[in-house]
Amino acid sequence: MAGYVPHTDEEIDAMLAFVGVASLDELYGAVPGALRLAGGLDLAPGLSEPDVLAAVSGLAGRNRAAELVCFAGAGAYDHEIPAATRALAGRSEFVTAYTPYQPEVSQGVLQALFEYQTLLCRLSGMEISNASLYDGANACVEAANLAVAATGRQQLWVSQGLHPHWRQTLATFAAGTGHEMVEAPLADGTTRWPADGEPAAVIVQSPNFLGCLEDLHGARHAADAAGALMVVARDPVASGLLRTPGELGADVVVGEGQPFGIPLSYGGPYLGLFTTRQSLVRRLPGRLVGETVDTEGRRAYVTTLRAREQDIRREKASSNVCTNQTLMAVAAAIQLSWLGTAGLRELAVRCARGTRYCREALLAIDGVEPAAPAPVLREFAVRTPVPPTALVERLADEGFLAGVAVDEGFEGTDYQGSLLVAVTERRTRAEIDAFAAAFEKAVR
């Protein structure tokens, strides 16, 4: 057994004597005898560290997906993570710190979060960013709750182009808050909003799940006509090329920050992005870092507007978030600074180039058809002569993770049964050519 408890037997005896009990068992005098676990936990005995690593390595080795050339996306992308980001985000001072409740010894994390908030506001075109939420789906839930609280309305208009898992997560939490969800369907790859109703928010993702640009002016008009807030879900990499949602009138911008320095990690831990307008700052969920000074007038950072939060406001708090994803926010701040002004632009351009090249190569194959209009960033949907789940299995044998089948959340639509393919800056022409060749064989 690996040992992380430092006590020697002699020390335990001496400590027991000081406490005034005869044995370790006696420490649990308050636990009724009938509740005591007889015979200990039904778990295997502890392993040495090398044995632990061998056991988990064995499991890790059975994840064939990790070895494939990745064309899967759907909200989780195979971007480059440079050595500098890994080294800095892996520093144990950041990794093993607690929430910065004592600002005098937490300036490292607090300043990194302040820089993160600044970067996020620039990417989204908004004025306020919180210090992170669990993931994109949960950020979207918090945006819906904010909109409901701000408008006093219960209905949400949710675009079908919003990630289906995010829609499902919204629906799960709506069972508690009582929100009514109205799904706005896609036609030609973009959202058709209802003509009337009293929504608290219109929630739209752009580029949407199928990779298509949405008409955010149209969404803003729909929101204005209905007196609602506009919540935009935005892949932050898109800001390398596209106008910010803030410029286009968003009230809240949410997103998934995984593309910035966070490994695919089988889906977590990721990073929930949440930015909004200054006028909504008192409804902001989660932590917010502000700049201030110490008693000697030196610049210092601290979590602020704390009266919003659950530990102070308790049942009146608009969010229950406590632990969030600080380390991921720090990683994103590092990665964005590694990219820099020109690098973010180049990252987005490189994704778009690979996407266009790959889409053209796949559409040149007999029987492969576009499932939605032309994409703008790094993802597109195609219809294939072979069902997408079978295609993904076949192409795995050729060394490719071919994409993600469009199914759940698109039942009964033209998009169901198509394959969503993503191309990041890591995919080379040789890889894409080989993929297209294997694809052609697999659909024959």
Partner 1 sequence: MTTSAERRASALSASGGRASSAPLLGRDEEPTVFDLSRPGRRAHSFRTTALPEWEADELVPSEHLRPEPVELAEVSERDLVAHFTRLSHRQYSVDLGAYPLGSCTMKYNPKVCDDVAALAGLARSHPAAPALLVQGWLELLVGLEDALCRITGMAAATLQPAAGAAGELTGLLLMRAWHEAQGQQRRRVIIPDSAHGTNPASVTLGGFEVATVPSDERGCVDLAALRSTLGPDVAGIMLTNPNTLGLFEEDITEIAAAVHQVGGLLYYDGANLNAILGVTRPGDMGFDIVHMNLHKTFATPHGGGGPGAGPVAVSERLVPYLPGPRPVRRPDGQFDWETPPRSIGRVHGWHGNALVLARAYAFILANGGDGLRRVADCAVLNANWLRRRLSATYDVPFDRPSMHEFVASTTSLRRQHGLRAVDVAKRLLEEGFHAPTVYFPLIVDEALMIEPTETESLQTLEALAEAFERIAGEAATAGGLEAAHAAPRTTPVSRVDEARAARQLIPTWDQRPASE
Footprint of partner 1 on residues 30-69 (CB under 8 A)?
A: 30-32, 34-37, 40-49, 51-53, 55-68
Residue placing its CB nearer to partner 1 in the complex, 46 or 227: 46
- CB of 196 vs partner 1, minimal distance in Å: 27
Exactly one of 283, 356, 383, 394 binds partner 1 (CB under 8 A); that residue is 356
What whole-number distance in Å separates Cα of residue 197 and Cα of residue 215?
Answer: 20
What whole-number distance in Å separates Cα of residue 1 and Cα of residue 381?
Answer: 50
- CB of 224 vs partner 1, minimal distance in Å: 20
Exactly one of 224, 279, 292, 385 binds partner 1 (CB under 8 A); that residue is 292
Burial class (CB in 10 A: 0-12, 13-18, 19+), 296: exposed
Candidate ranges 154-162, 224-232, 336-344, 436-444; the one touching partner 1 (CB under 8 A): 336-344
- CB of 183 vs partner 1, minimal distance in Å: 15
- CB of 370 vs partner 1, minimal distance in Å: 17
What whole-number distance in Å separates Cα of residue 85 and Cα of residue 74?
Answer: 24
- The neighbouring-strand residues paired with 422 are 379
CA dihedral of 275, 280, 286, 290, whole degrees rounded to 10: 80
What whole-number distance in Å separates Cα of residue 353 and Cα of residue 370?
Answer: 17
User: Tokens 């700049």, residue?
Assistant: 291
- CB of 199 vs partner 1, minimal distance in Å: 20
Angle 388-396/429-443 helices, nearest 10 degrees? 120
- CB of 269 vs partner 1, minimal distance in Å: 3
Report 221-240 residues binding partner 1 (CB under 8 A): 239-240
Candidate ranges 150-158, 185-193, 218-226, 341-349; the one touching partner 1 (CB under 8 A): 341-349
φ, ψ for residue 325, nearest 5 deg: -130, 50
Report 175-194 residues binding partner 1 (CB under 8 A): 175-178
Exactly one of 198, 265, 279, 387 binds partner 1 (CB under 8 A); that residue is 265
- CB of 414 vs partner 1, minimal distance in Å: 21
Q: 3-class DSSP state for residue 205? A: strand
For position 296 contacting partner 1 by CB under 8 A, the verdict is yes
Sign, CA torsion 230/220/237/302 = negative
Exactly one of 90, 227, 385, 387 binds partner 1 (CB under 8 A); that residue is 90
For position 441 contacting partner 1 by CB under 8 A, the verdict is no
Omega before 207 cis (within 30°)? yes
Token pair of 93, please?
A: 């001072």
For position 353 contacting partner 1 by CB under 8 A, the verdict is yes
For position 257 contacting partner 1 by CB under 8 A, the verdict is no
For position 437 contacting partner 1 by CB under 8 A, the verdict is no
Residue placing its CB nearer to partner 1 in the complex, 208 or 239: 239
- Give the strand pairing for 180-184 and 69-70: unpaired
Token pair of 211, please?
A: 């990779």
**What DSSP character marks residue 66?**
G
> Kind and range of the H or E element at 94?
helix 92-95
- CB of 239 vs partner 1, minimal distance in Å: 5
What whole-number distance in Å separates Cα of residue 301 and Cα of residue 104?
Answer: 9
Query: Measuring CA to CA, how many Å separate 442 from each of 356, 357, 369, 422, 428?
Result: 21, 19, 15, 18, 21
Exactly one of 9, 102, 152, 195 binds partner 1 (CB under 8 A); that residue is 102
For position 354 contacting partner 1 by CB under 8 A, the verdict is yes
For position 302 contacting partner 1 by CB under 8 A, the verdict is yes
Q: 3-class DSSP state for residue 131? A: coil
- CB of 440 vs partner 1, minimal distance in Å: 19
Exactly one of 428, 437, 441, 444 binds partner 1 (CB under 8 A); that residue is 428
Exactly one of 196, 342, 366, 412 binds partner 1 (CB under 8 A); that residue is 342
Residue placing its CB nearer to partner 1 in the complex, 226 or 424: 424
- CB of 3 vs partner 1, minimal distance in Å: 8
* 379 Cβ contact partners less than 8 Å away, ≥ 6 residues apart: 73, 74, 207, 210, 211, 355, 420, 421, 422, 423
For position 148 contacting partner 1 by CB under 8 A, the verdict is no
